[in-house]
Chain A
Amino acid sequence: MTPADTLRFATRAATGYPLRTALMVLAMSIGVAAVVVLTALGDGARRYVVNEFSALGSNLVIVLPGRTATGGLGLGNIITSTPRDLTVRDAEALLRAPLVTRMAPLSVGNSEIAWGGRLREAMVVGTSGDYVDIRAFRMAEGSFLPREDLGRASAVAVLGTKLRAEIFGNEPAIGRIVRVGDRRLRVIGVLDKTGQGLGMNTDELVFVPVATAQAMFNTNNLFRIIVEARSREAIGPAKQQLEDIMRLRREGELDVTLITQDAVLGTFDRILGALTMAVAGIAAISLAVAGILVMNVMLVAVTQRTAEIGLLKALGATGRNIRLAFLTEAALLSLAGALAGFALGHLGAWALRLAFPVLPAWPPDWAVFAGIGTALATGILFGVMPARRAARLDPVQALSRR
Protein backbone atom coordinates (compact mmCIF):
# COMPACT_ATOMS: atom_id res chain seq x y z
CA MET A 1 0.00 0.00 0.00
CA THR A 2 1.61 3.26 -1.09
CA PRO A 3 1.65 6.29 1.26
CA ALA A 4 -0.59 8.20 -1.15
CA ASP A 5 -3.14 5.38 -1.02
CA THR A 6 -2.95 5.23 2.76
CA LEU A 7 -3.59 8.95 2.89
CA ARG A 8 -6.52 8.74 0.48
CA PHE A 9 -8.02 5.79 2.31
CA ALA A 10 -7.72 7.57 5.67
CA THR A 11 -9.22 10.75 4.24
CA ARG A 12 -12.20 8.82 2.91
CA ALA A 13 -12.58 7.14 6.28
CA ALA A 14 -12.49 10.49 8.10
CA THR A 15 -14.96 12.15 5.75
CA GLY A 16 -17.16 9.06 5.74
CA TYR A 17 -18.43 9.98 9.21
CA PRO A 18 -18.90 13.77 8.98
CA LEU A 19 -20.52 14.43 12.36
CA ARG A 20 -17.93 12.45 14.28
CA THR A 21 -15.10 14.12 12.35
CA ALA A 22 -16.59 17.60 12.79
CA LEU A 23 -16.93 17.19 16.55
CA MET A 24 -13.42 15.85 16.82
CA VAL A 25 -11.98 18.69 14.79
CA LEU A 26 -13.97 21.18 16.86
CA ALA A 27 -12.59 19.82 20.14
CA MET A 28 -9.04 19.90 18.84
CA SER A 29 -9.45 23.35 17.36
CA ILE A 30 -10.77 24.77 20.63
CA GLY A 31 -7.63 23.49 22.35
CA VAL A 32 -5.30 25.04 19.79
CA ALA A 33 -7.33 28.26 19.68
CA ALA A 34 -7.13 28.49 23.48
CA VAL A 35 -3.35 28.28 23.30
CA VAL A 36 -3.18 30.88 20.54
CA VAL A 37 -5.57 33.37 22.16
CA LEU A 38 -4.25 33.05 25.70
CA THR A 39 -0.63 33.39 24.66
CA ALA A 40 -1.61 36.32 22.48
CA LEU A 41 -3.13 37.89 25.57
CA GLY A 42 -0.12 37.12 27.77
CA ASP A 43 2.43 38.17 25.22
CA GLY A 44 0.36 41.25 24.40
CA ALA A 45 0.50 42.26 28.05
CA ARG A 46 4.23 41.65 28.10
CA ARG A 47 4.78 43.75 25.00
CA TYR A 48 2.52 46.46 26.34
CA VAL A 49 4.58 46.78 29.53
CA VAL A 50 7.89 46.57 27.68
CA ASN A 51 6.75 49.26 25.27
CA GLU A 52 5.68 51.50 28.13
CA PHE A 53 9.09 51.10 29.70
CA SER A 54 10.92 51.59 26.45
CA ALA A 55 9.09 54.89 26.15
CA LEU A 56 11.27 56.09 29.01
CA GLY A 57 14.26 55.90 26.70
CA SER A 58 16.15 52.73 26.17
CA ASN A 59 19.80 53.21 27.19
CA LEU A 60 19.36 54.73 30.59
CA VAL A 61 21.30 54.24 33.79
CA ILE A 62 19.66 55.73 36.84
CA VAL A 63 21.84 56.82 39.75
CA LEU A 64 20.27 56.89 43.22
CA PRO A 65 21.87 58.12 46.44
CA GLY A 66 22.55 55.49 49.08
CA ARG A 67 23.41 51.85 48.75
CA THR A 68 22.19 48.73 50.40
CA ALA A 69 25.25 46.57 50.72
CA THR A 70 26.80 44.46 53.39
CA GLY A 71 30.46 45.34 53.77
CA GLY A 72 33.24 44.58 56.22
CA LEU A 73 34.59 47.08 58.72
CA GLY A 74 36.51 49.48 56.48
CA LEU A 75 37.94 52.88 57.13
CA GLY A 76 35.05 54.50 55.27
CA ASN A 77 32.43 52.74 57.38
CA ILE A 78 33.96 53.91 60.64
CA ILE A 79 34.09 57.54 59.67
CA THR A 80 30.67 57.74 58.11
CA SER A 81 27.83 55.32 57.67
CA THR A 82 25.21 57.67 56.22
CA PRO A 83 25.44 58.17 52.48
CA ARG A 84 26.59 61.48 51.26
CA ASP A 85 24.30 63.65 49.18
CA LEU A 86 24.22 63.28 45.45
CA THR A 87 25.09 66.74 44.15
CA VAL A 88 25.09 68.65 40.90
CA ARG A 89 28.90 68.37 40.93
CA ASP A 90 28.56 64.59 40.96
CA ALA A 91 26.20 64.82 38.03
CA GLU A 92 28.63 66.94 36.05
CA ALA A 93 31.46 64.53 36.85
CA LEU A 94 29.48 61.64 35.43
CA LEU A 95 29.50 63.27 32.01
CA ARG A 96 33.25 62.58 31.90
CA ALA A 97 32.61 58.88 31.35
CA PRO A 98 33.44 58.23 27.68
CA LEU A 99 30.42 56.00 27.05
CA VAL A 100 27.96 58.58 28.36
CA THR A 101 26.28 60.89 25.89
CA ARG A 102 23.80 62.83 27.99
CA MET A 103 22.92 63.32 31.60
CA ALA A 104 20.07 64.96 33.49
CA PRO A 105 20.00 65.57 37.25
CA LEU A 106 16.65 65.37 38.96
CA SER A 107 15.61 67.31 42.03
CA VAL A 108 12.02 66.78 43.02
CA GLY A 109 9.73 68.53 45.44
CA ASN A 110 6.11 69.43 46.04
CA SER A 111 5.01 72.99 45.73
CA GLU A 112 2.15 75.05 44.41
CA ILE A 113 1.73 76.91 41.18
CA ALA A 114 -0.39 80.04 40.90
CA TRP A 115 -1.50 82.30 38.06
CA GLY A 116 -4.35 84.74 37.70
CA GLY A 117 -5.94 83.76 40.99
CA ARG A 118 -5.77 80.04 40.26
CA LEU A 119 -3.72 77.89 42.61
CA ARG A 120 -2.80 74.26 42.27
CA GLU A 121 -0.59 71.71 44.03
CA ALA A 122 2.15 70.60 41.67
CA MET A 123 5.23 68.47 41.73
CA VAL A 124 8.27 70.47 40.72
CA VAL A 125 11.11 68.73 38.91
CA GLY A 126 14.44 70.47 38.68
CA THR A 127 16.48 69.18 35.80
CA SER A 128 18.60 70.20 32.81
CA GLY A 129 17.91 70.90 29.15
CA ASP A 130 18.98 67.41 28.11
CA TYR A 131 16.13 65.78 29.99
CA VAL A 132 13.69 66.36 27.15
CA ASP A 133 15.93 64.39 24.76
CA ILE A 134 16.73 61.61 27.19
CA ARG A 135 13.05 60.97 27.79
CA ALA A 136 12.20 61.67 24.15
CA PHE A 137 9.48 64.15 25.04
CA ARG A 138 7.97 66.39 22.42
CA MET A 139 7.12 70.02 22.96
CA ALA A 140 3.60 71.24 22.33
CA GLU A 141 4.59 74.90 22.53
CA GLY A 142 7.77 76.88 23.09
CA SER A 143 11.02 75.18 24.08
CA PHE A 144 12.32 73.11 26.97
CA LEU A 145 14.74 74.38 29.62
CA PRO A 146 17.84 76.07 28.20
CA ARG A 147 21.11 74.16 28.05
CA GLU A 148 23.21 76.19 30.47
CA ASP A 149 25.48 75.82 33.44
CA LEU A 150 23.80 73.61 36.01
CA GLY A 151 24.54 76.11 38.73
CA ARG A 152 22.49 78.83 37.13
CA ALA A 153 19.05 79.33 38.62
CA SER A 154 17.18 80.82 35.66
CA ALA A 155 13.67 81.93 36.45
CA VAL A 156 11.94 79.83 33.79
CA ALA A 157 9.49 76.94 33.86
CA VAL A 158 8.09 74.30 31.48
CA LEU A 159 4.61 72.93 32.17
CA GLY A 160 2.99 69.57 31.55
CA THR A 161 0.04 69.72 29.21
CA LYS A 162 -2.60 68.94 31.83
CA LEU A 163 -1.22 71.48 34.24
CA ARG A 164 -1.19 74.07 31.50
CA ALA A 165 -4.83 73.39 30.69
CA GLU A 166 -5.85 73.67 34.34
CA ILE A 167 -3.98 76.89 35.02
CA PHE A 168 -4.39 78.76 31.78
CA GLY A 169 -7.46 77.18 30.20
CA ASN A 170 -7.67 78.46 26.67
CA GLU A 171 -5.40 81.44 27.20
CA PRO A 172 -1.84 81.41 25.85
CA ALA A 173 0.74 80.29 28.40
CA ILE A 174 4.07 81.08 26.78
CA GLY A 175 5.69 84.19 28.21
CA ARG A 176 3.35 84.37 31.21
CA ILE A 177 4.83 84.73 34.67
CA VAL A 178 3.63 82.10 37.13
CA ARG A 179 4.36 81.83 40.81
CA VAL A 180 5.86 78.51 41.88
CA GLY A 181 6.35 78.35 45.64
CA ASP A 182 7.90 81.70 46.52
CA ARG A 183 9.38 82.32 43.07
CA ARG A 184 8.16 84.00 39.96
CA LEU A 185 9.02 82.06 36.82
CA ARG A 186 8.41 82.73 33.16
CA VAL A 187 6.71 79.93 31.22
CA ILE A 188 8.89 79.13 28.21
CA GLY A 189 7.34 75.85 27.02
CA VAL A 190 4.59 73.28 27.31
CA LEU A 191 5.20 69.56 26.87
CA ASP A 192 3.14 67.43 24.56
CA LYS A 193 0.92 64.78 26.12
CA THR A 194 3.17 61.96 27.38
CA GLY A 195 1.31 59.88 29.92
CA GLN A 196 2.66 57.84 32.77
CA GLY A 197 6.33 57.28 33.37
CA LEU A 198 8.52 56.52 36.35
CA GLY A 199 5.48 56.56 38.61
CA MET A 200 4.55 60.20 38.02
CA ASN A 201 2.27 61.72 35.50
CA THR A 202 4.49 63.96 33.40
CA ASP A 203 1.47 65.91 32.21
CA GLU A 204 1.03 67.32 35.70
CA LEU A 205 4.65 68.36 36.37
CA VAL A 206 6.43 71.70 36.41
CA PHE A 207 9.98 71.55 35.06
CA VAL A 208 12.48 74.15 36.25
CA PRO A 209 16.30 74.40 36.07
CA VAL A 210 17.88 72.16 38.71
CA ALA A 211 19.52 75.09 40.50
CA THR A 212 16.15 76.85 40.70
CA ALA A 213 14.56 73.78 42.24
CA GLN A 214 17.38 73.32 44.73
CA ALA A 215 17.13 76.94 45.79
CA MET A 216 13.35 76.61 46.05
CA PHE A 217 13.60 73.56 48.30
CA ASN A 218 16.77 74.75 50.01
CA THR A 219 18.79 71.64 49.37
CA ASN A 220 21.96 70.49 47.62
CA ASN A 221 20.67 66.97 47.30
CA LEU A 222 19.61 65.37 44.04
CA PHE A 223 16.77 62.88 43.86
CA ARG A 224 18.21 60.98 40.87
CA ILE A 225 20.70 61.39 38.09
CA ILE A 226 19.60 59.96 34.78
CA VAL A 227 22.46 59.04 32.47
CA GLU A 228 22.15 57.98 28.88
CA ALA A 229 24.70 55.52 27.52
CA ARG A 230 25.96 55.63 23.97
CA SER A 231 24.11 52.46 22.94
CA ARG A 232 22.26 49.51 24.39
CA GLU A 233 25.44 47.41 24.36
CA ALA A 234 27.36 50.19 26.12
CA ILE A 235 25.04 50.13 29.14
CA GLY A 236 27.12 47.58 31.05
CA PRO A 237 30.54 49.19 30.50
CA ALA A 238 29.05 52.67 31.02
CA LYS A 239 27.66 51.57 34.36
CA GLN A 240 31.15 50.38 35.32
CA GLN A 241 32.66 53.73 34.31
CA LEU A 242 30.03 55.62 36.30
CA GLU A 243 30.76 53.49 39.36
CA ASP A 244 34.48 54.18 38.99
CA ILE A 245 33.87 57.91 38.80
CA MET A 246 31.59 57.88 41.83
CA ARG A 247 34.04 55.78 43.81
CA LEU A 248 36.82 58.22 42.98
CA ARG A 249 34.71 61.11 44.18
CA ARG A 250 33.85 59.33 47.46
CA GLU A 251 37.35 58.26 48.51
CA GLY A 252 36.88 54.70 47.32
CA GLU A 253 33.47 54.11 48.82
CA LEU A 254 30.54 53.53 46.52
CA ASP A 255 27.49 54.97 48.24
CA VAL A 256 25.18 55.25 45.26
CA THR A 257 23.02 52.68 43.54
CA LEU A 258 22.96 52.33 39.77
CA ILE A 259 19.90 50.84 38.12
CA THR A 260 19.84 50.10 34.44
CA GLN A 261 16.74 50.35 32.40
CA ASP A 262 17.56 46.91 31.04
CA ALA A 263 17.45 45.30 34.44
CA VAL A 264 13.99 46.67 35.18
CA LEU A 265 12.78 45.83 31.74
CA GLY A 266 14.33 42.39 31.89
CA THR A 267 12.56 41.64 35.14
CA PHE A 268 9.18 42.60 33.74
CA ASP A 269 9.96 40.75 30.57
CA ARG A 270 10.75 37.62 32.55
CA ILE A 271 7.74 37.85 34.83
CA LEU A 272 5.28 38.38 32.01
CA GLY A 273 7.04 35.82 29.84
CA ALA A 274 6.63 33.27 32.62
CA LEU A 275 2.99 34.28 32.94
CA THR A 276 2.49 33.67 29.22
CA MET A 277 4.09 30.25 29.53
CA ALA A 278 1.86 29.40 32.48
CA VAL A 279 -1.23 30.45 30.56
CA ALA A 280 -0.06 28.43 27.58
CA GLY A 281 0.41 25.46 29.89
CA ILE A 282 -3.13 25.75 31.16
CA ALA A 283 -4.40 25.97 27.60
CA ALA A 284 -2.34 22.92 26.72
CA ILE A 285 -4.44 20.90 29.15
CA SER A 286 -7.36 21.33 26.79
CA LEU A 287 -5.12 19.90 24.09
CA ALA A 288 -4.46 16.85 26.21
CA VAL A 289 -8.21 16.46 26.67
CA ALA A 290 -8.62 16.72 22.91
CA GLY A 291 -5.95 14.05 22.55
CA ILE A 292 -7.90 11.69 24.78
CA LEU A 293 -10.94 12.49 22.67
CA VAL A 294 -9.01 11.47 19.56
CA MET A 295 -8.25 8.18 21.24
CA ASN A 296 -11.88 7.64 22.15
CA VAL A 297 -13.07 8.51 18.67
CA MET A 298 -10.53 6.20 17.09
CA LEU A 299 -11.43 3.36 19.47
CA VAL A 300 -15.07 3.79 18.50
CA ALA A 301 -13.99 3.83 14.85
CA VAL A 302 -12.14 0.55 15.31
CA THR A 303 -15.20 -1.05 16.89
CA GLN A 304 -17.47 0.42 14.27
CA ARG A 305 -15.29 -0.82 11.44
CA THR A 306 -14.35 -4.20 12.84
CA ALA A 307 -15.91 -6.00 9.86
CA GLU A 308 -14.08 -3.70 7.49
CA ILE A 309 -10.77 -4.42 9.20
CA GLY A 310 -11.48 -8.16 8.92
CA LEU A 311 -12.25 -7.72 5.24
CA LEU A 312 -9.04 -5.76 4.62
CA LYS A 313 -7.11 -8.55 6.29
CA ALA A 314 -8.86 -11.13 4.13
CA LEU A 315 -7.93 -9.08 1.08
CA GLY A 316 -4.31 -9.29 2.13
CA ALA A 317 -3.71 -6.17 4.21
CA THR A 318 -0.83 -6.56 6.64
CA GLY A 319 -1.04 -5.40 10.24
CA ARG A 320 1.22 -2.53 9.25
CA ASN A 321 -1.16 -1.40 6.49
CA ILE A 322 -4.04 -1.23 8.93
CA ARG A 323 -2.00 0.40 11.68
CA LEU A 324 -0.81 3.09 9.29
CA ALA A 325 -4.29 3.71 7.91
CA PHE A 326 -5.76 4.31 11.36
CA LEU A 327 -2.78 6.34 12.54
CA THR A 328 -3.02 8.49 9.42
CA GLU A 329 -6.70 9.03 10.12
CA ALA A 330 -5.93 10.17 13.67
CA ALA A 331 -3.19 12.45 12.36
CA LEU A 332 -5.53 13.93 9.77
CA LEU A 333 -8.17 14.65 12.39
CA SER A 334 -5.56 16.35 14.57
CA LEU A 335 -4.12 18.28 11.67
CA ALA A 336 -7.55 19.54 10.61
CA GLY A 337 -8.26 20.45 14.22
CA ALA A 338 -4.92 22.20 14.59
CA LEU A 339 -5.39 24.24 11.42
CA ALA A 340 -8.96 25.15 12.30
CA GLY A 341 -7.78 26.09 15.79
CA PHE A 342 -4.98 28.18 14.32
CA ALA A 343 -7.50 30.14 12.27
CA LEU A 344 -9.93 30.35 15.18
CA GLY A 345 -7.16 31.54 17.51
CA HIS A 346 -6.04 34.25 15.12
CA LEU A 347 -9.66 35.33 14.79
CA GLY A 348 -9.85 35.53 18.58
CA ALA A 349 -6.61 37.50 18.81
CA TRP A 350 -7.89 39.84 16.13
CA ALA A 351 -11.10 40.36 18.13
CA LEU A 352 -8.99 41.07 21.21
CA ARG A 353 -6.96 43.68 19.37
CA LEU A 354 -10.19 45.20 18.14
CA ALA A 355 -11.65 45.32 21.63
CA PHE A 356 -8.45 46.55 23.34
CA PRO A 357 -6.47 48.58 20.82
CA VAL A 358 -3.70 49.39 23.33
CA LEU A 359 -2.91 45.71 23.80
CA PRO A 360 -0.70 44.32 21.02
CA ALA A 361 -2.35 40.88 21.27
CA TRP A 362 -0.36 38.98 18.67
CA PRO A 363 0.25 35.33 19.48
CA PRO A 364 3.99 34.65 19.66
CA ASP A 365 5.37 32.36 16.95
CA TRP A 366 6.60 29.79 19.43
CA ALA A 367 3.10 29.45 20.88
CA VAL A 368 1.54 28.87 17.48
CA PHE A 369 4.10 26.21 16.61
CA ALA A 370 3.87 24.66 20.07
CA GLY A 371 0.08 24.60 19.90
CA ILE A 372 -0.10 22.98 16.50
CA GLY A 373 2.80 20.67 17.30
CA THR A 374 1.24 19.54 20.56
CA ALA A 375 -2.09 18.97 18.82
CA LEU A 376 -0.46 16.77 16.20
CA ALA A 377 1.71 14.96 18.72
CA THR A 378 -1.16 14.20 21.10
CA GLY A 379 -3.43 13.19 18.23
CA ILE A 380 -0.89 10.75 16.85
CA LEU A 381 0.22 9.55 20.27
CA PHE A 382 -3.34 8.83 21.33
CA GLY A 383 -4.00 7.32 17.91
CA VAL A 384 -1.32 4.66 18.37
CA MET A 385 -3.28 2.49 20.79
CA PRO A 386 -6.48 2.28 18.70
CA ALA A 387 -4.42 1.66 15.56
CA ARG A 388 -2.54 -1.18 17.21
CA ARG A 389 -5.79 -2.64 18.44
CA ALA A 390 -7.16 -2.53 14.90
CA ALA A 391 -4.05 -4.17 13.49
CA ARG A 392 -4.22 -6.99 16.04
CA LEU A 393 -7.86 -7.89 15.44
CA ASP A 394 -8.41 -11.55 14.64
CA PRO A 395 -9.73 -11.58 11.05
CA VAL A 396 -12.11 -14.53 11.57
CA GLN A 397 -13.83 -12.89 14.51
CA ALA A 398 -13.73 -9.48 12.84
CA LEU A 399 -15.42 -10.82 9.72
CA SER A 400 -18.16 -12.60 11.64
CA ARG A 401 -19.14 -9.28 13.23
CA ARG A 402 -21.74 -7.63 11.14
Chain B
Amino acid sequence: MATIIEGIGLNKQFGIGDAAVAAINSVDIQIEEGELVMIMGDSGCGKTTLISLLGCILTPDSGELKIDEQVIDPENQDLSVIRREKIGFVFQLFHLLPYLTALENVMVAMDITKTNTSESEKRAKELLTRVGLSERLDHRPAQLSGGEKQRVSFARALANRPKIIFADEPTANLDSRQSDNMMNLIQEIRQEQNTTIAIVTHHEGLKENADRVIHMKDGRIITS
Protein backbone atom coordinates (compact mmCIF):
# COMPACT_ATOMS: atom_id res chain seq x y z
CA MET B 1 0.00 0.00 0.00
CA ALA B 2 1.21 3.50 -0.82
CA THR B 3 1.52 6.10 1.91
CA ILE B 4 -1.17 8.64 1.36
CA ILE B 5 -0.21 11.01 4.14
CA GLU B 6 3.02 11.39 6.07
CA GLY B 7 4.01 13.78 8.81
CA ILE B 8 7.59 13.96 10.04
CA GLY B 9 8.55 15.82 13.21
CA LEU B 10 5.36 17.85 13.29
CA ASN B 11 5.16 20.52 15.97
CA LYS B 12 2.37 22.94 16.75
CA GLN B 13 2.29 25.38 19.61
CA PHE B 14 -0.51 27.73 20.62
CA GLY B 15 0.16 30.87 22.63
CA ILE B 16 3.49 32.41 23.53
CA GLY B 17 5.69 32.70 26.59
CA ASP B 18 4.26 31.24 29.80
CA ALA B 19 0.93 30.67 28.08
CA ALA B 20 2.48 28.56 25.32
CA VAL B 21 0.97 25.10 24.90
CA ALA B 22 2.60 22.47 22.72
CA ALA B 23 -0.51 21.00 21.14
CA ILE B 24 1.51 18.70 18.87
CA ASN B 25 4.98 17.69 19.91
CA SER B 26 7.41 15.97 17.50
CA VAL B 27 4.79 13.78 15.90
CA ASP B 28 5.71 11.33 13.17
CA ILE B 29 2.75 9.73 11.44
CA GLN B 30 2.04 7.71 8.33
CA ILE B 31 -1.33 6.68 6.97
CA GLU B 32 -1.53 4.21 4.14
CA GLU B 33 -3.92 4.32 1.21
CA GLY B 34 -7.26 2.67 2.02
CA GLU B 35 -6.50 2.47 5.73
CA LEU B 36 -9.09 3.17 8.43
CA VAL B 37 -7.26 4.76 11.34
CA MET B 38 -8.71 5.73 14.69
CA ILE B 39 -6.97 8.50 16.61
CA MET B 40 -7.80 8.26 20.29
CA GLY B 41 -6.83 9.94 23.50
CA ASP B 42 -8.07 12.14 26.31
CA SER B 43 -9.58 15.55 25.73
CA GLY B 44 -6.90 18.12 24.96
CA CYS B 45 -4.30 15.53 23.94
CA GLY B 46 -4.03 17.07 20.45
CA LYS B 47 -6.18 14.73 18.32
CA THR B 48 -8.13 17.47 16.58
CA THR B 49 -5.03 19.62 16.18
CA LEU B 50 -3.30 16.65 14.55
CA ILE B 51 -6.01 16.06 11.95
CA SER B 52 -6.16 19.84 11.39
CA LEU B 53 -2.46 19.75 10.56
CA LEU B 54 -2.80 16.65 8.40
CA GLY B 55 -5.88 18.17 6.74
CA CYS B 56 -4.05 21.43 5.91
CA ILE B 57 -6.34 23.56 8.06
CA LEU B 58 -3.49 24.42 10.37
CA THR B 59 0.13 24.67 9.37
CA PRO B 60 2.84 23.16 11.54
CA ASP B 61 5.39 25.38 13.28
CA SER B 62 8.00 22.87 12.15
CA GLY B 63 8.15 19.48 10.51
CA GLU B 64 7.29 18.16 7.10
CA LEU B 65 3.98 17.07 5.71
CA LYS B 66 3.44 15.01 2.56
CA ILE B 67 0.03 14.32 1.08
CA ASP B 68 -0.23 11.92 -1.84
CA GLU B 69 3.57 12.11 -2.19
CA GLN B 70 3.49 15.88 -2.50
CA VAL B 71 5.40 17.93 0.07
CA ILE B 72 3.16 20.65 1.47
CA ASP B 73 4.70 24.10 1.50
CA PRO B 74 2.32 26.39 3.41
CA GLU B 75 4.36 29.47 2.59
CA ASN B 76 4.00 29.07 -1.15
CA GLN B 77 0.96 26.88 -1.63
CA ASP B 78 -2.72 27.66 -1.48
CA LEU B 79 -3.83 25.14 1.13
CA SER B 80 -7.49 25.55 0.19
CA VAL B 81 -6.65 23.85 -3.15
CA ILE B 82 -5.23 20.82 -1.31
CA ARG B 83 -8.26 20.72 1.00
CA ARG B 84 -10.77 20.74 -1.82
CA GLU B 85 -8.88 18.35 -4.10
CA LYS B 86 -7.45 15.76 -1.75
CA ILE B 87 -9.25 15.97 1.60
CA GLY B 88 -12.77 15.52 2.93
CA PHE B 89 -13.94 16.52 6.39
CA VAL B 90 -16.73 15.19 8.58
CA PHE B 91 -17.40 17.34 11.63
CA GLN B 92 -18.75 16.43 15.03
CA LEU B 93 -21.58 18.97 14.71
CA PHE B 94 -22.18 18.17 11.02
CA HIS B 95 -21.99 21.85 10.00
CA LEU B 96 -24.49 21.63 7.19
CA LEU B 97 -25.62 24.96 5.79
CA PRO B 98 -29.10 25.49 7.25
CA TYR B 99 -30.55 27.17 4.17
CA LEU B 100 -29.66 24.35 1.80
CA THR B 101 -31.33 20.99 1.25
CA ALA B 102 -29.42 17.77 1.78
CA LEU B 103 -28.79 17.61 -1.96
CA GLU B 104 -27.52 21.21 -2.10
CA ASN B 105 -25.30 20.69 0.95
CA VAL B 106 -23.49 17.94 -0.91
CA MET B 107 -23.39 20.00 -4.10
CA VAL B 108 -21.69 22.89 -2.28
CA ALA B 109 -18.46 20.91 -2.04
CA MET B 110 -18.51 20.49 -5.83
CA ASP B 111 -19.51 24.12 -6.36
CA ILE B 112 -16.23 25.01 -4.67
CA THR B 113 -14.33 22.89 -7.21
CA LYS B 114 -16.37 24.47 -10.03
CA THR B 115 -17.93 21.18 -11.09
CA ASN B 116 -20.80 21.91 -13.45
CA THR B 117 -24.23 21.87 -11.86
CA SER B 118 -25.75 18.91 -13.69
CA GLU B 119 -22.72 16.75 -12.97
CA SER B 120 -22.59 17.74 -9.31
CA GLU B 121 -26.32 17.19 -8.90
CA LYS B 122 -25.98 13.71 -10.40
CA ARG B 123 -23.09 12.81 -8.11
CA ALA B 124 -24.77 14.33 -5.03
CA LYS B 125 -27.87 12.23 -5.71
CA GLU B 126 -25.75 9.12 -6.13
CA LEU B 127 -23.90 9.77 -2.88
CA LEU B 128 -27.05 10.56 -0.91
CA THR B 129 -28.68 7.44 -2.29
CA ARG B 130 -25.58 5.48 -1.28
CA VAL B 131 -25.79 6.79 2.30
CA GLY B 132 -29.48 5.90 2.40
CA LEU B 133 -30.99 9.35 2.02
CA SER B 134 -32.59 9.12 -1.41
CA GLU B 135 -35.92 10.05 0.17
CA ARG B 136 -34.44 13.04 1.95
CA LEU B 137 -32.84 14.96 -0.92
CA ASP B 138 -35.02 18.03 -0.51
CA HIS B 139 -34.99 18.11 3.28
CA ARG B 140 -33.20 20.89 5.07
CA PRO B 141 -30.90 20.07 8.02
CA ALA B 142 -33.59 21.14 10.48
CA GLN B 143 -35.81 18.40 9.04
CA LEU B 144 -33.19 15.66 9.43
CA SER B 145 -32.21 13.52 12.43
CA GLY B 146 -28.65 13.64 13.83
CA GLY B 147 -27.74 10.42 12.04
CA GLU B 148 -29.16 11.70 8.77
CA LYS B 149 -27.26 14.97 9.10
CA GLN B 150 -24.03 13.07 9.69
CA ARG B 151 -24.68 10.94 6.61
CA VAL B 152 -25.22 14.12 4.54
CA SER B 153 -21.97 15.44 6.01
CA PHE B 154 -20.23 12.20 5.01
CA ALA B 155 -21.66 12.41 1.48
CA ARG B 156 -20.38 15.99 1.26
CA ALA B 157 -16.92 14.83 2.35
CA LEU B 158 -16.95 12.22 -0.42
CA ALA B 159 -18.19 14.60 -3.10
CA ASN B 160 -14.83 15.52 -4.64
CA ARG B 161 -13.41 11.98 -4.43
CA PRO B 162 -10.84 12.88 -1.77
CA LYS B 163 -7.70 10.88 -1.11
CA ILE B 164 -8.42 10.94 2.61
CA ILE B 165 -11.35 11.77 4.85
CA PHE B 166 -10.81 13.17 8.33
CA ALA B 167 -13.74 12.69 10.67
CA ASP B 168 -13.76 14.53 13.99
CA GLU B 169 -15.87 12.63 16.53
CA PRO B 170 -18.40 11.65 13.84
CA THR B 171 -20.52 9.61 16.25
CA ALA B 172 -20.30 11.84 19.32
CA ASN B 173 -23.74 13.37 18.74
CA LEU B 174 -25.45 10.17 17.65
CA ASP B 175 -27.23 7.55 19.71
CA SER B 176 -25.75 4.02 19.76
CA ARG B 177 -27.95 2.75 16.91
CA GLN B 178 -27.14 5.76 14.73
CA SER B 179 -23.50 5.43 15.72
CA ASP B 180 -23.38 1.79 14.63
CA ASN B 181 -25.12 2.61 11.38
CA MET B 182 -22.66 5.39 10.72
CA MET B 183 -19.65 3.17 11.34
CA ASN B 184 -21.12 0.46 9.11
CA LEU B 185 -21.59 3.02 6.38
CA ILE B 186 -18.01 4.28 6.78
CA GLN B 187 -16.71 0.71 6.54
CA GLU B 188 -18.80 -0.04 3.46
CA ILE B 189 -17.75 3.09 1.64
CA ARG B 190 -14.14 2.59 2.52
CA GLN B 191 -14.24 -0.89 1.03
CA GLU B 192 -16.16 0.19 -2.06
CA GLN B 193 -14.06 3.23 -2.86
CA ASN B 194 -10.77 2.37 -1.17
CA THR B 195 -10.94 5.73 0.59
CA THR B 196 -8.48 6.43 3.38
CA ILE B 197 -10.27 7.47 6.55
CA ALA B 198 -8.89 8.88 9.80
CA ILE B 199 -11.35 9.17 12.65
CA VAL B 200 -10.83 11.09 15.85
CA THR B 201 -12.92 9.56 18.59
CA HIS B 202 -13.29 9.01 22.31
CA HIS B 203 -15.53 6.06 21.72
CA GLU B 204 -13.60 2.90 22.68
CA GLY B 205 -16.30 0.77 21.07
CA LEU B 206 -15.35 2.00 17.63
CA LYS B 207 -11.81 0.59 17.85
CA GLU B 208 -12.89 -2.75 16.46
CA ASN B 209 -13.69 -1.10 13.14
CA ALA B 210 -10.17 0.28 12.72
CA ASP B 211 -7.22 -1.17 10.88
CA ARG B 212 -5.00 0.70 13.28
CA VAL B 213 -5.47 2.78 16.42
CA ILE B 214 -3.22 5.70 17.23
CA HIS B 215 -3.17 6.75 20.88
CA MET B 216 -2.16 10.27 21.79
CA LYS B 217 -1.19 11.94 25.04
CA ASP B 218 0.01 15.49 25.67
CA GLY B 219 0.54 16.20 22.00
CA ARG B 220 2.54 13.03 21.32
CA ILE B 221 1.70 9.70 19.73
CA ILE B 222 2.23 7.05 22.38
CA THR B 223 1.13 3.96 20.45
CA SER B 224 0.55 3.53 16.79
B and A form one assembly:
no
Report which B residues bind A (CB closer than 8 A). Answer: none
